[in-house]
Amino acid sequence: MRRKTMTMNKKEIKTIEDLSLNAWPSHQMQLYDGWILRFSHYYTHRTNCVEQIGNAQIPWDDKIQYCEKIYRRWNTPCIFKITPLTDPAFDEKLEGLGYHIEHVTDVMCCSLGDPARYPVHETVQIEQRISDEWIDALFSIKENATVTHLKIVPSMYAAIPKDVLCAGIRQNGRIIATGLGILDRDQIGIYAINVDKRFRRQGLARKICESLLGKGLKNPGIGKAYLQVIADNTPAISLYESLGFKKAYQYWFRVKEL
């Protein structure tokens, strides 16, 4: 499959990276010399990794050792997020230290343009708050929650500092498909697109995405959208491309068990 791609400069990449940090807070975070250490009991790689967000003064070796000490204390793997903003020599450094690559992710972006392209479907219920019912449905659909995650993840969603559009489709009174739009600056970020495995291949993910984008466009200033998808998720990528998204850049995680 030939991918649709776009060119994005480092300033534009930095903007998307900032938006994604706002969109998905971690359970705990600490700053260390231009790096942010994120911890969420290994709920996701994104919320449980080291991200480089500013200028640094301390040598890499010292900083990596410090991070490994902290994540060892947290009893999770030590994970570093690698983006096009990361010095390639740092990625090579981690590889030499035994860090392997996991979760290669495509960041896809689009200019929304004509609102008629993104109908808000009557079957999609959209609220401007994230309800406990929606979070419970998300856990049920994903089937990967631990007891600890059930305790901490609701507070992570509650900590999102931006306006949200929380979407769901119901069947017999139960939410069977979810989606989340997060409004920040001139963009809407699309997150948490999930469909109950018993109801897939019925166009529900498309309806969720179209409705979030259409509803987002009704907010003054919103004209762009971004999302993140695992690079080998061909069905999802095909859907997003049909909605106008193009691959802008990739990031991945370097992981080491401690």
Distance from C-alpha of 207 to C-alpha of 188, rounded to nearest angstrom: 16
Distance from C-alpha of 252 to C-alpha of 240, rounded to nearest angstrom: 20
Same domain membership, residue 119 and residue 86: no
Same domain membership, residue 117 and residue 98: no
Dihedral, 232, 130, 111, 105 alpha carbons, nearest 10: -20
**For residue 49, is it within any domain?**
yes
Would the pLDDT of 4 be above 80? no
In this structure, the strands spanning 35-39 and 28-32 are antiparallel
What does the pLDDT read at residue 1?
Answer: 53
Domain hosting 172: range is: 113-222
Would the pLDDT of 3 be above 80? no
Considering only CA atoms, which of 164, 218, 159 is closest in space to residue 191?
Answer: 164
- Averaged pLDDT, 243-258: 96
What does the pLDDT read at residue 85?
Answer: 97
Residue 64 half-sphere exposure toward CB, CA atoms < 13 A = 19
**For residue 41, is it within any domain?**
yes
Among 86, 107, 128, the domain boundary falls at 107
Residue 223's region, left for phi above 0, alpha for psi from -120 to 50, else beta, is alpha
Same domain membership, residue 90 and residue 37: yes
Same domain membership, residue 93 and residue 122: no
Among 51, 75, 107, the domain boundary falls at 107
Considering only CA atoms, which of 106, 215, 224, 228 is closest in space to residue 163?
Answer: 215
Return mean pLDDT, the chain.
96
What does the pLDDT read at residue 122?
Answer: 97
DSSP element (H, E) containing 188 = strand 187-195
Among 74, 107, 140, the domain boundary falls at 107
Q: Tell me: the pLDDT tens digits for 48-91?
A: 999 999 999 999 999 999 999 999 999 999 999 999 999 999 99
Structure tokens at 247: 């691959």
Considering only CA atoms, which of 222, 223, 153 is closest in space to residue 192?
Answer: 153
